[in-house]
Amino acid sequence: MVTFSANLGFLWTDQPLPAAIRAAKAAGFEAVECHWPYDTPTAEVTAALKETELEMLGLNTPKSSGGIGQFGLSALPGQEDLARAVIDQSLSFADDIGAHSLHVMAGIASGPAAQASFYAALTHACHQAKKSEITILIEPLNRYDAPGYFLNSLAQAEEVITSVNQPNLKLMFDCYHVGRTEGDVLTQLQARLPLIGHIQFASIPNRQSPDQGSLDYKQVFAAIESLGWARPLGAEYHP
């Protein structure tokens, strides 16, 4: 049976994070996930998770720090020390609230120097994350929503995962981003299933609820279930 995780970066954003967690529970979600929960004390997040008995599947590293960065820091040449510091802070927060994964955001960059910076940041993140058994995720973002983002295709993400070669580095497969840029979502998902650490979804092209748009999510969810996927799928859409 397919189950779902509420992405609280998009859902119940009018409420403080602990209240949003409770709202997700009341709505029947099996888990929750976040974008950037860092302004909320970890004790408050943990208390809401304990009260609702919901898992926190994951969160993102910050988009910027000290005015540097736009969609992340980890592939920015010359910012390696800052990227590592941000990763360490994010992992500490994730560990405190019992999150299962951390999405390391690459940033707006390109070229060999950016690739070297990203590989170094991910290697550091994977080594640090092993202490808490946290999975590190990377996610290709489509060129319409994040123009210039370093990681922009599944093939590139696969190359990164293979090159960094760490067992706790996985792909965040977002059906919305894949559908916007790479076509057949189900074919792409089936081909890369061994690399996937988390799956997210939203309608294409408007990133709204899955009963809209060009992709038949009844078919997608049935296919994901038939592949043996047992973890909650991330509802990352605008309500």
139 is catalytic: yes
Question: Within the chain, which residues score under 50 in pLDDT?
Answer: none
Split into its structural domains, the chain has a count of 1
**Span 39-73, pLDDT tens digits:** 999 999 999 999 999 999 999 999 999 999 999 99
Concerning whether 236 is annotated as a catalytic residue, the answer is yes
Question: Given this model, what pLDDT does residue 183 score?
Answer: 82
| d(C-alpha 209, C-alpha 107), whole Å | 27
Helix ranges, the chain (H): 17-26, 42-52, 80-97, 112-129, 154-164, 175-181, 185-191, 217-226
| CA atoms of 81 and 33, how far apart (whole Å) | 27
Name residues whose C-beta falls within 8 Å of residue 168's C-beta, 6 or more positions apart in sequence.
126, 129, 130, 133, 134, 135, 136
Per the CB < 8 A criterion, the answer to whether 174 and 137 are in contact is no
In our burial notation (b when 16+ CB lie closer than 10 A, e otherwise), range 121-130 reads bbbbbbebbe
Cα gap 154→184, rounded to integer Å: 12
CB 40 within 8 A of CB 83: no
CATH number at residue 139: 3.20.20.150
C-beta separation of 160 from 106 below 8 A: no
Given 53, 80, 139, 182, which residue is catalytic?
Answer: 139
Which tens digit of pLDDT belongs to each residue from 142-151?
A: 999 999 999 9
Catalytic residue among 30, 80, 225, 236: 236
CA–CA separation, 134 vs 56, rounded Å? 12
Q: Domain range for residue 227? A: 4-235
For the chain, counts of helices (H) and of strands (E): 8, 9
